[in-house]
Amino acid sequence: MQLTINHISKEIKGKAIIKDISFNLEHGDVLGIIGPNGAGKTTIMKIICGLCQMTSGSVLLDDQPISYYYGKKEYPIGVMIESPSMYKHLSGYKNVEINALTKGIRNKEICNNAIINAGLLSSKDLRVGKYSLGMKQRLGIAMSIINDPKIVVLDEPINGLDPDGIKYVRELIKSLSNKNKIVIVSSHILSELNLVCNKVCFIKSGRMVSIINTYMESEDLETIYGQ
Amino acid sequence: MVVIHNMKNMILSELYKNVTLKYLIVVFISMFVVISAYSLLFESAPIEEWKENAQEMKELQQEGILALSKESGEENYDKLIDYFNGIVSTIDYCLKNNIPYNPSNVYYFMSRTTNLFTIVIFLCIYLCSRVYSVESENETWKNLVCCGRNRNTIILGKMIFTIMLTCAVFLSYAFISFLVGLFRFGINGNDYIYVKMVEKSIVESNYIVDFFVSIGLSLYKTIFLIVLMTFIYFIFNNDKIALIVPISTFIFAGKINLLIEKYRWKKLLPFHYLTIDMKEVFIRSNMIYGFIIVLLLFMVIMSIGISLSFKHKEY
């Protein structure tokens, strides 16, 4: 399995938001996207999962555009972009069930497991409107991987999480990588990315400054980012 | 098969997110209260008394005709006199053929509840607008777009669900009308044949058939208004405008139709057909084709607009 981001650019009203970004990811890769606010991290993620259209370039999964996988039984991408979005008037379980249905899964056991893995069993019948940010974040991540996707895109997944939550996300990303999934993750907390990513992409003003393999770098990310 | 399976799942997910127990209770109780209150406007009388009541009604009409005849010959009065004469002729026909005139029974009551269809139409537009606004309020459009379904499948699933919801509301309304009518008036003679004036001639008709024809007409108009609501929602990206435009269109369709009455192309616009009722269907039966075709054409055009707009939306 290979994800190829090929010279993608995006313009809005003549202003370039993303300029000529390219990289390749293979199964088991965990890519961290780092950059200041407004650099274009979320836009890159949105383009990969089809929320945004690119002005030029292509996103290919095993040489096929993402649109090729629409309507297929197993859609290969799981996404949590920006803050997790849920139906606040419904329970956590109902939200998982709805999310599973839209992905073609009609299996209560899978929904229950997702809730259990997210550590939300005791509050599964509570309205999401009453969830804390950390609980929503856990539920959002659980929903994004409910269909066992090959690529998982997580935008700021540890935002609002307590230390236990951060540990949960860290271990989850590692386990996804061990299962040969591609994980793309963005965060402001460089030390966290250092722990889970094997590749890191630095973005500034819509341009890719560099992409490094963290295992081959002797310095930590904060030092590299500072440079 | 995969397409049908996906569509079924999309529709089911819409059901889960939009229809809760609380929602069902509120909708059913509201309908029940409104229809029950409306039933109080009708008097419950044993079927044996219909001839007596019809005779009384006939005398009242004749008095009215006499009083109006004394006034100077204004056009409005002439129309009223014609109307009263029509009622007198209908009553005479009923008495002669032993067909109960306005019988106090469940079927007559159901035929009267069609007067409340405007409320049902507004209720449907509101409920269907929630199918879209629930996504905007919770910012969940991005979840739907990322679920791996073609955008046309997502929007088609929502549109099919709104149509199913509208049908369910109308059928529930019919069922509750029947229950309230049965409880308040009973079968009371089991007479569902009635007599009405169509183009100055008397015809026999059936309360039950007419009731369902009325439902069909209103249902079709409602589906048109819901497609309009969806179209406006995607064009303006605003829940409130999407709710106001179809309701205003329905309220002012008659007035707009009057404004464009002198133009021949008025029949190519939906306003003319949104004002159509049962009476007109019976008088001008060919009008029904225009009603179906023009509204369908507009629905298709708007659906294409919805699809194109949603396809290029970014979340």
pLDDT tens digits for chain A (227 residues)? 899 999 999 998 888 999 999 999 999 999 999 988 888 999 999 999 989 999 999 999 999 998 899 888 889 999 999 888 999 999 999 999 999 999 999 999 999 999 999 999 999 999 999 999 889 999 999 999 999 999 999 998 888 788 888 888 999 999 999 999 999 999 877 888 888 899 999 998 899 988 888 766 656 666 666 66
Burial, B240: exposed, middle or buried (Cβ in 10 Å; 0-12, 13-18, 19+)? exposed
CA angle B224, B228, B232 (to 5 degrees): 175
Q: How many other C-beta atoms lie within 10 A of the C-beta of residue B225?
A: 25
Q: Which amino acid is at B178?
A: F
Nearest alpha carbon to residue A48 among A66, A74, A69: A66
Could you tell me if residue A61 is inside a domain?
yes
Q: Which pLDDT value is given to residue B1?
A: 75
State the pTM of this model: 0.90
Domain that holds residue A8: 1-76+183-227
Query: For residue A106, what is the nearest residue in chain B, using CA coordinates?
Result: B9
Helix intervals (H) in A145-209: 163-178, 190-196
Q: Does A103 touch chain B (CB under 8 A)?
A: yes
For B130-163, write each residue's pLDDT tens digit: 999 999 999 999 999 999 898 999 999 999 999 9
Could you tell me if residue A5 is inside a domain?
yes
Could you tell me if residue A35 is inside a domain?
yes
SS3 of residue B240 by DSSP: helix
CA angle A92, A98, A100 (to 5 degrees): 105
Query: What does B147-165 look like in DSSP terms, one character per residue?
Result: TT--HHHHHHHHHHHHHHH
Q: Which pLDDT value is given to residue A210?
A: 83
Query: For residue B148, what is the nearest residue in chain A, using CA coordinates?
Result: A70
Residues of B in contact with A52 (CB under 8 A): 314-315
State how many domains chain A has: 1
Q: What mean pLDDT is predicted for residues B35-55? A: 91
Query: For residue B131, what is the nearest residue in chain A, using CA coordinates?
Result: A87
- B280 vs B19 pLDDT, higher one: B19
Q: Does the pLDDT value for residue B44 go beyond 70?
A: yes
Count how many residues are written for chain B. Answer: 315
Q: A53-71: buried (b, 16+ CB within 10 Å) or exposed (e) per residue? A: ebeebebebeeeebeebbb
For B74-96, write each residue's pLDDT tens digit: 667 778 888 889 999 999 999 99
Residue B225 parent element (H or E) = helix B207-236
Q: Which CATH number do you get for residue A10?
A: 3.40.50.300
Q: What is the ipTM of this complex?
A: 0.89
A97, A99, A102, A154: best to mutate for the B interface, most B CBs within 10 A: A102
- A191 vs B100 pLDDT, higher one: B100
Residues of A in contact with B147 (CB under 8 A): 75, 99, 102-103
CA distance A187 to A16: 23
User: For residue B206, what are its two tokens?
Assistant: 């059936």
Residues of B in contact with A89 (CB under 8 A): 20
Q: Does the pLDDT value for residue B167 go beyond 80?
A: yes
Could you tell me if residue A13 is inside a domain?
yes
Q: Which pLDDT value is given to residue B283?
A: 67
Residue B196 parent element (H or E) = strand B193-198
Residues of B in contact with A82 (CB under 8 A): 142
Q: Which pLDDT value is given to residue A225?
A: 62
Q: Which of A37-46, B39-48, B190-199 has the lowest mean pLDDT?
A: B190-199
User: For residue A166, what are its two tokens?
Assistant: 């951060």
Count how many residues are written for chain A. Answer: 227
Inter-chain CB proximity A85 and B2 less than 8 Å: no
- What residue segments make up the domains of chain B, in order of their start? 1-44+104-312
Q: Considering only the beta carbons, identify the residue of B5, B16, B146 that sits closest to A49.
A: B146
Inter-chain CB proximity B16 and A50 less than 8 Å: no
Inter-chain CB proximity B138 and A85 less than 8 Å: yes
Residues of B in contact with A72 (CB under 8 A): 2, 148
* Stretch 127-156 of chain A: residues touching chain B, C-beta under 8 Å: 143, 147
Q: What mean pLDDT is predicted for residues B14-20? A: 94
Q: What is the largest CA-CA distance in chain A?
A: 50
User: For residue B284, what are its two tokens?
Assistant: 């001008």
Q: Which pLDDT value is given to residue A123?
A: 94
Q: Which pLDDT value is given to residue A67?
A: 87
CA distance A169 to A175: 10
Could you tell me if residue A157 is inside a domain?
no
Q: Considering only the beta carbons, identify the residue of A52, A77, A86 that sits closest to B138.
A: A86
Residues of A in contact with B10 (CB under 8 A): 101-102
Q: What mean pLDDT is predicted for residues B25-44? A: 95
Residue B79 parent element (H or E) = helix B75-97
Q: Does the pLDDT value for residue B280 go beyond 80?
A: no
Helix intervals (H) in B237-286: 239-259, 271-274, 278-283
